[in-house]
């Protein structure tokens, strides 16, 4: 039986892994919050991994506030780059395969066609820069790793766009949503299940991969579909905003190609609309 450590277990993605774990009876899980396994405490990580002898570490811990990262650069790089480097070393030294998550924001968004894993990275905000440095550290420090770049994670857990739109719609608030960014919403439950299947299949096709749901959308498109599926379309006014101002720059186009991922692992990936509908149906 493979033993799997999941760090950042209290966050959105970590909790989705917890809910999907029951589908994999041949895997043994330890779900670690930041209090149990603090990525900023290097000696503690090494001791913990040595003591428990894990086969895999799935790192869901990250600094994810894109806006605040612009004024909190030091913390963003500390969590997303420096701590990841030390985790990679600890995993390497204890023969643990590391599975890590990165972002579409490693790209500048100037390309208007799908981004592949081989495309040049050029982040335009602090968050993207910190995640790219984390990627590079893993590649320098170890060989047994999977890095999954993903985008626009949503679920019914925690603070994310899906929950925010539903909450604001039910409160009757007017919604002004940007049409200036195109990417792909990604169901965090789908991502978690996809990764666990890779472990279950004992894949050794290490490297960087892209994972999001299929298709593309603007944030406005995503909001409109959430409202439609939850029956809130007629209850709230949804307006297009083509001059939405944010502190952090964001790529205008960051749709990820899944060709390599599909070719390598042979698993199904759902269109984002279909996966969103499945989530709504479970909750409404």
3-state secondary structure the chain: CEEEEEECCCCHHHHHHHHHHHHCCCEEEEEECCCCCCCCCHHHHHHHHHHHCCCEEEECCCCCCHHHHCCCHHHHHHHHHHHHHHHHHHHHHCCCEEEEEEEHHHCCCCCCCCECCCCCCCCCCHHHHHHHHHHHHHHHHCCCEEEEEECCEECCCCCCHHHHHHHHHHCCCCEEEECCCEECCEEHHHHHHHHHHHHHCCCCCCEEEECCCECCEEHHHHHHHHHHHCCCCCCCCEEEECCCCCCCCCCCECCECCHHHHHHHCCCCCEHHHHHHHHHHHHC
* Residue range 190-223, pLDDT digits in tens: 999 999 999 999 999 999 999 999 999 999 999 9
* Model-wide pTM > 0.85: yes
* Residue range 164-199, pLDDT digits in tens: 999 999 999 999 999 999 999 999 999 999 999 999
Under the banding of pLDDT at 50, 70 and 90, the label for residue 245 is confident
Predicted confidence at residue 244, as pLDDT, reads 67
Q: Which of 127, 209, 211, 253 is catalytic?
A: 127
Is residue 127 annotated as a catalytic residue, yes or no? yes
Least confident segment among 26-40, 67-81, 105-119, 127-141: 26-40
**Residue-range domain boundaries for the chain:** 2-158+186-213+256-270
Least confident segment among 122-131, 239-248, 250-259, 273-282: 239-248
Q: To which CATH superfamily is domain 2-158+186-213+256-270 assigned?
A: NAD(P)-binding Rossmann-like Domain (3.40.50.720)
């Amino acid at each position: 039986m493979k033993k799997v450590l999941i760090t950042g277990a209290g966050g959105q993605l970590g909790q989705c892994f917890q809910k999907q774990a029951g589908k994999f009876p041949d895997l043994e899980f330890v779900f670690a919050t930041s209090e149990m396994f603090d990525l900023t405490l290097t000696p503690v990580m090494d001791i913990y991994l040595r003591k428990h002898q894990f086969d895999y570490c799935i790192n869901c811990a990250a600094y994810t506030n894109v806006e605040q990262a612009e004024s909190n650069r030091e913390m963003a790089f500390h969590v997303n780059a420096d701590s990841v480097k030390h985790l990679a070393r600890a995993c390497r030294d204890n023969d643990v395969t590391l599975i890590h998550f990165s972002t579409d924001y490693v790209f500048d968004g100037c390309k208007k066609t799908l981004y592949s894993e081989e495309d040049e990275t050029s982040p335009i905000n602090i968050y993207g820069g910190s995640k790219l440095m984390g990627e590079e550290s893993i590649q320098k420090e170890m060989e047994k790793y999977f890095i999954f770049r993903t985008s626009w994670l949503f679920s019914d857990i925690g603070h994310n766009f899906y929950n925010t739109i539903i909450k604001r719609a039910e409160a009757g608030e007017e919604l002004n949503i940007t049409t200036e960014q195109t990417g792909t919403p990604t169901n965090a439950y789908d991502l978690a299940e996809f990764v666990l299947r890779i472990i279950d299949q004992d894949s050794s096709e290490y490297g960087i991969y892209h994972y999001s749901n299929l298709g593309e959308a603007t944030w406005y498109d995503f909001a409109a579909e959430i409202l439609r599926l939850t029956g809130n379309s007629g209850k709230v006014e949804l307006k297009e905003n083509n001059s939405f101002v944010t502190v952090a720059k964001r790529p205008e186009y960051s749709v990820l190609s899944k060709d390599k991922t599909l070719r390598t692992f042979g698993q199904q990936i759902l269109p984002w609309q279909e996966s969103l509908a499945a989530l709504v149906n479970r909750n409404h």
